Structure 1
Amino acid sequence: MKKIITILILGAVSLSFAQSATKKADRLFEKMWYKDAAVLYELEAKKFDNKNNKFLKKEGKAEYLNLLKRAGDAYFFNTDMQNAYRWYDKLISNFYSEVDSEYIFRYAHTLEGIGKYRDAKRWMKEFAKRTEKKDDRSENLNQRKITIEDVLDIEEGFTLKNVSVNTKYSDFGPMYYKDQLVYSSAVDSSNFHTRIYHWNEQPFLNMYLGELDEIESDLKLISDFSKKLNTRYHEATLAFSPDETKVYFTRNNYDGDLHRDHKGTNHLKLYSAELLRDEDSLLTWQHIKELPFNSEDYSVGHPAVSEDGKHLYFVSDMPGSIGATDIFVVDILDSDNHRIQDSTQQYNGYSKPRNLGEKINTAGREMFPYITNNALYFASDGHLGLGGLDVYESRKIDSNFSKPINLGAPLNSELDDFGFIINEEKNKGFVCSNRLSGKGDDDIYSFVRLPTSEIACNQSIRGHISNTITGERLANVKMSLYDEAGTPLETTTTNLNGAYKFNNVLNCATKFNITALKSGYAPKEKPVLTLDEEGETIVALGLETLSNLIVEEAGILKIKIGIIYFDLDKSFVRNDASIELNKVVLLMMQYPNMVIKIESHTDSRNTEDYNLKLSDRRAKSTRDYIISQGINSNRIKSAIGYGESQLINQCKSDVECSESEHQLNRRSEFIIIKM
């Protein structure tokens, strides 16, 4: 596909001995007149080929390197992979260690484009190695999980037919309209002169209306789609509102004059028009308007409208893009209510554009989205494919999209495949390609989607549970797994490290629910969507105790209150102690099933026998106070004093300690037995 979205232009080349010729080639390249530029770059590069190696290694090295880049790029951007390969191969052979990783990526794509998949695999891995953790394409192309061979082995899911409307020029961008099809073509319909688009020496694109032949899976030209929408420059790729009374379409930045940015680039823009009756009561497209998120500084194009008419998807290289071109989405707002629930910025009936994120978009090109209720289809060269742009399917799950899946051959080929649309009820649609078997440049193909065997994608769920406040991992948490309808599937318990795992083999990209239950903690439920690729979905949960007075220490639930003070050698409950004990009373009233036991401890000062008896009297005095406040005696399992037998520090009778250190051992503990 000849790059409709503007390509980031490489730096200018300057050759000392052939400055004027190369500068002319650079000017042509920057205007995207790639065919003319390629001829001049080749001529200059061949002059270097006649120089000796000593010259190339010294004063001519930088110039030759840049010429090889530009010669390769001029063909690559025009999808002439055979010639692009010739120059990139020289570039890699001579300057492998010095070229930017992007040229490794392009070289691999040219190898795919000429069918050298084994070599392409090697160079994709090299690209992934060079760019690991720096470029999101590296994970797609490192082929650790899926290889080129896997893509080549995808079961054939489509039958294709080249349709009748195709010409020797570029024909692409089909879209359903009523019982017909609108598409874009560079077929020259001028009666006076041929308007050549110098990028690929073809006439400019306009939109045409085609008649669908369902029986023959064919398309025949009827007429121009709209004289009012077509101009002397590019119009291409369009989408309609569900009622087909509004159209969104791509056009050059043109309003009678062709506008360019400060670099001289004419960007693409999205426009809308409404189907209204004119003064002769004829339905025509009127009120042509620019969409408000267009810009003079970047391109916006290739629209797709959701089936409910609430979202508009499009392609752009606007700020915030992950790669060369990304897919974005905006909300189409009701004209009577421009409020957005999440307070997203909005203007003139649309929300602020949102990037679809790294699952869909890569550092490469994502283009030509098409959205249904079930899936997003798009073209990309940043995911692992067969060469150039390939078509991918990403299943729609609520407002999320699954990991894109390559739709395989014969839908995809070694060159560019894009512009996919489908009627999912009929399993029929159209796709575009510039594969060499076509009639001309880009061709439109009709297809029938075949029933295919389901490829199993298995997932499991594991994770860990921790205390939300302390971060401590929680053992003995009962974990339960349910399907989306609430049917129980499995239960398990966390181990000493707070880890759990369900043994059930689950489907990928499927909704489940998990619950976590532990005595003393608030129950937790979490909806889970398993990952969309083979492996494990990891779910970590945090639990909070039912009250901030309840803590877990070394796996034991306790009621934590302030220190209970007793007078010297006494065991009756003082007024200040009763304030703290009332917290225990209130908590037990709040949780009527709670059962506790009371343990009292002393420090090591005085004799062991004395301390044991004193602590036991204090434990029972504490119990009696709690019962006196209305708590049933059978809810206190025991009240026992342990004297100095369970010190929590080193302060034994023969060890000198401070008063504060001794105080740590003088404690009463309220241990929860049951909730």
Structure 2
Amino acid sequence: MAMKKSIILIFVLSVLNFSYAQNFVSDSLEIESSTPKADKLFKRMWYKEAAQAYETELNSLNRKKDKKDDNYLRVLKRTGDAYFFNTDMENAYRVYDKLISTYYPNINPEYIFRYAHSLEGIGRYNEAKRWMKEFAKKTKKLDDRSEYYDQIDQTIEDVLNIQPQFVLHNLSINTEYSDFGPMYYKDKLVFSSAVDSSNYHTRIYHWNEQPFLNVYVGELNAIESDIDNTEDFSSTINTRYHEAILTFTPDHKRVYFTRNNYDGKLKRDKKGTNHLKLYSADLVKNEEDEEEWRNIKELPFNSDEYSVGHPTLSSDGKLLYFVSDMPGSIGGTDIFVVDVFEDEENDSISSTRYSKPRNLGEKINTAGREMFPFITDRALYFASDGHLGLGGLDVYESKINDKTFNNPKNLGSPLNSKLDDFSFIIKEDLNRGFVSSNRTTGKGDDDIYSFVRVPIKEEKPKCDQIVRGFVSNEVTGERIANVTVTLYSETGEKLETTTTGLNGAYRFNKVLNCDTKYKVLAEKTGYGEKNKPLLTDKITGETVVALGLQTVDKLIVEEGGLLKIKIGIIYFDLDKSYIRNDAAIELNKIVVLMTQYPKMVIKIESHTDSRNTDEYNLALSDRRAKSTREYLISQGIATNRIESAKGYGESRLINKCTNGVPCSEAEHQLNRRSEFIILKM
């Protein structure tokens, strides 16, 4: 993109200086070059011409049989880099893909990083994420970027699924060249452009074969969706080199702007690099009583050894944010801030003081590049390729909470695209603003777009409820196991069914809404159904619903998990098994109950005490059980409704009264019993 190819060229280079040549395949730059012309173009950052020259050499090497030599590796790298630095991601991917497939895994990890970014640039997000993970794996503890990409838990799908909230409009003033960097100025909009309309039309910036950038101004239309009547912003600010990215004090009497390190002539560092600097200028009246920008002065924290640029001012003018790769930066370029101190009695540039620059820290800045900050009273907006995005630079929002910045959030598509999106500005009260992008649907290189932001409706905080409870006997209070409990919606839709445990407790797994009506139904053989409405609690947590059941008849009880018909004691004469009259009275209660519930099926178990021999007691109890069954059948109960009648002798005593243990008659009587166990109803 022209933006990267021009005003931030130094920032771009700073992020590309990582090297691990000691541990991996060498950078192959020490060998004798077979492409001196291409190398010269590359070093001058004339990447478009360099790429063409390298392609010629690469085609020649491809025709040779042995392509895996140091020179082939070097030319592959340089060809890919020439495209990558010029943001030609299609061709960068094509060349890097050949580089990776030929030399992986013995390749400098920086090229894995660039390969991943080229994949993002052509929309192949899943592959890009995989290669970023590989980059993190190979550079563990060697590169700060590895930790971020190794621990990232958000996915590209999460970013793609962000609810759209922007409607974009391409401005009429956009050209085939680079147009970007909008900023409000009174009722106008200033911006930077490489359109060839200046007095320096013969000067071409060979990185992108476009004229150098200058600043222009245009009139906003009534709804601030476009501008017209554009003209040069200032003949004193525009020079023969790059000027871009401005910000103004609240009274519009001072401007801060980015320019090449130029003061009549270009200044370079020890390596011959021309960096960017921040300058300020005051609006004053000239001899003709016309306002013009004068007193241009560079800011005190500039340096010939690193770049400073992309200014933005807080609404009160007391905080100046900017971008730099100065010492203390976390990544390629970071966002910094300084306090601005004005002399109330003297508002000239010379009287303005600035604090020491402060890095905004790791919440905002990453090992990648953070650029183009724009501050409002509500949030900090900036572009980054270090946070998870859709490719290239994406725009992020970090809301301000008690003077601190929250974690940045990607603003999603369509504001962001798979290419570069940056220079975001907004009027929060109008939800209108401007953004720059080099997406392929534009008119030229970088284009400026106006936008309307449609606020996302604030959803109510998610409130979840789980329903649990227990079931007990309403009469005895005893907890009941194996109860079927079913959850229904208010309209009767079955949602889930579960069963109580040994302690009578149940729990539904389905997550429910808070403050919502549901129904619970409890059922178990021998018990009446219990249908209970419920209203879940209003805050996230658990709603406890206790349920009480009663048996369908007072003669039916549950003991030890078994349903039984509880009647009076069935007495037998000593050593006898026939049914006595008093026993018949009790058994008739069973006859009535089984007649009332015609589907009831039972089994009969008879028991004795421990007195007498085991064999005798077993035979006696069995005769009594069968005698009991015969009596019930004689009273009209169908044979198939009594599954079995069996005696157990003294094998199932319910107290301590075993052989040889002295017990009272009452204690022995407890063991002489008949039990009627309900199997079906």
TM-score tier by shorter-chain length is 0.5 to 0.7
Aligned to 1:130: 138
Q: 1:453 aligns with which of 457, 463, 466?
A: 457
Q: 1:434 aligns with which of 431, 435, 438?
A: 438
Displacement, 1:133? 5.1
Instruction: Say which of 148, 158, 183 aligns to 1:175.
Output: 183
Give the counterpart of 2:58 among 26, 45, 69: 45
SS of match in other structure, 2:78: helix
Q: Identify the residue that residue 341 of structure 2 maps to in structure 1.
A: 333
CA distance in 1, matches of 2:245, 2:295: 19
Partner of 1:156: 164
For each residue in 1:554-587, what CA deviation from the matched residue of structure 2 results, as whole angstroms up to 9, or x when unmatched? Answer: xxxxxxxxxxxxxxxxxxxxxxxxxxxxxxxxxx
Query: 1:470-502: CA deviations, max 9, x gaps?
Result: xxxxxxxxxxxxxxxxxxxxxxxxxxxxxxxxx
Partner of 2:395: 391
Q: 1:157 to 1:193 in 2, by over 3 A?
A: closer
Q: 1:258 aligns with which of 266, 287, 295?
A: 266
1:376 counterpart residue number: 380
Letter in 1 for 2:379: A
TM-score by length of 2: 0.62
Distance in 1 between the 2:203 and 2:150 partners?
44
Question: 1:232 aligns to what SS in structure 2?
Answer: coil
Tell me which residue corresponds to 2:23: none
The whole-number CA distance in structure 2 between the counterparts of 1:331 and 1:191 is 37
2:42 counterpart residue number: 29
State the number of aligned residues. Answer: 445
**2:370 alignment partner in structure 1:** 366
Out of 349, 352, 356, the residue aligned to residue 360 of structure 2 is 356
Residue matched to 2:281: 273
Superposed displacement of residue 135, structure 1: 4.0
Contact 2:340-2:355 within 8 A present in 1 as well: yes
Shift of 1:387: 0.3
Deviation, 1:262, is 1.8
Q: 1:237 aligns to what? A: 245
Contact 1:386 1:413 in 2 (8 A): yes
Describe the SS at the equivalent of 2:72.
Answer: helix
The residue type equivalent to 1:30 in the other structure is K
Counterpart position of 1:118: 126
SS of alignment partner, residue 227 of structure 1? coil
* Contact 1:174/1:430 (<8 A) preserved: yes
Partners of 1:292 and 1:348 within 8 A in 2: no
Identify which of 405, 414, 418 aligns with 1:410. 414
1:187 corresponds to which residue?
195
What's the CA shift string for 1:510-551, capped at 9, x where partnerless? xxxxxxxxxxxxxxxxxxxxxxxxxxxxxxxxxxxxxxxxxx
Aligned partner of 1:280: which letter?
Answer: E
Among candidates 303, 323, 346, match of residue 315 of structure 1: 323
Tell me: CA distance 1:435–1:453, structure 2 relative to 1, closer, same or farther (3 Å): same
On the 8 A contact 1:13/1:22 being kept in 2, the answer is no
Task: Give per-residue Cα distances to partners, 1:277-304, cap 9 Å, x unaligned.
Answer: 1112111111100101111111111100
- What's the offset of the Cα at 1:455? 6.5
Looking at structure 2, the residues matched to 115 and 272 of structure 1 have their Cα atoms a distance apart, in angstroms, of 40
2:342–2:352 contact (8 Å) kept in structure 1: no
Classify 1:67/1:200 alpha carbon distance in 2 versus 1 (closer, same or farther; 3 Å). same
Distance apart, 1:175 and its partner CA = 0.3
Deviations 1:361-381 (A, max 9, x none): 111111000001111100000
CA contact (8 A) 2:200 2:240 kept: no
Find the counterpart in structure 2 of residue 83 from structure 1: 91
The one-letter code of the counterpart of 1:269 is: K
2:459, 2:38 → 1: CA distance? Answer: 50
Q: Which moved more, 1:193-202 or 1:233-242?
A: 193-202
**What SS does structure 2 have at the residue aligned with 1:124?**
helix
Partner of 1:101: 109
User: Which amino acid in structure 2 is aligned with residue 43 of structure 1?
Assistant: T
Kept in 1, the 8 Å contact 2:35–2:54? The answer is: yes
Which blocks of at least 5 consecutive residues in structure 2 are unaligned?
A: 20-26, 464-681
With 239-248 and 277-286 compared, the bigger mean Cα shift is at 277-286
Shift of 1:142: 4.1
Distance in 1, matches of 2:116 and 2:288, equals 57
* Secondary structure of the structure 2 residue equivalent to 1:332: strand
Write the mapping of 1:532-547 to structure 2, written as runs, cut at 5 A.
none
User: What is the deviation of 1:192?
Assistant: 7.0
Backbone CA RMSD of aligned residues:
2.4
CA contact (8 A) 1:78 1:200 kept: yes
Residue of structure 1 equivalent to 2:216: 208
Q: TM-score, normalised by structure 1?
A: 0.63
**Structure 2 residue identity aligned to 1:36:** E
- Name which one, 1 or 2, has greater alpha-carbon Rg: 2
Deviates more, 1:27-36 or 1:80-89: 27-36
Contact 2:28–2:73 at 8 Å: present in 1 too?
no
Q: Which deviations, in whole Å up to 9, do the C-alpha atoms of 1:225-258 show, x marking residues without a partner? A: 1111111111100000111111000011111111
Distance 1:304 1:65, change over 3 A: same
> Which structure 2 residues correspond to residues 284-295 of structure 1 after superposition, within 5 A?
284-295=292-303
Q: Conserved in 2, the CA contact under 8 Å of 1:136 and 1:363?
A: yes
**Does the 8 Å contact 1:15/1:22 carry over to 2?**
no
Alignment partners' CA distance in 1, 2:139 and 2:365: 17
- Return 5+ residue gaps in structure 1 as ranges: 339-345, 460-675
- The separation in 2 between residues aligned to 1:458 and 1:234, in whole angstroms, is 50
Q: Distance in 2 between matches of 1:412 and 1:50?
A: 41
Question: Residue type matched to 1:46 in 2?
Answer: N
Sequence identity percentage: 66
Matched to 2:419, the amino acid is L
